Amino acid sequence: MRAFLASRGIAPAAGEVDLLASRKDACFLTEIREHGVAPFPSTAALARELRGRGVRTAAGADLVVADLSELRLRGRHDGSVAADL
């Protein structure tokens, strides 16, 4: 966020970047909770194709609020376990 603001000639006071980032994240998560998240059709098709070929699939932890049940993913993981997939 700091780099984004700096690129527009905005120099926020100490603590403002954290405040803005927290507000942005809260607004984003509220929007997702209220309206949901749909996977791109091409991504859903790829996940189905991979599953059909026996490739293990999972979603990133950031997608916890998305309804991905129809894709039959094995789990939802963050980057720390990606190597185990």
> Per-residue pLDDT tens for 13-66?
888 999 998 999 899 889 888 887 777 888 878 878 888 898 877 766 555 545
What tokens does 7 get? 């690129």
What tokens does 16 get? 């403002």
Tell me the pTM. Answer: 0.49
- Within 13 Å and on the Cβ side, how many CA atoms surround 39? 21
Q: What is the pLDDT of residue 8?
A: 93
Query: What one-character DSSP code corresponds to residue 14?
Result: T
What is the residue type of 4?
F
Q: Is the dihedral of CA 74, 79, 34, 37 positive or negative?
A: negative
Q: How confident is the model at residue 80 (pLDDT cuts 50, 70, 90)?
A: low
Q: Is the dihedral of CA 63, 38, 68, 84 positive or negative?
A: negative
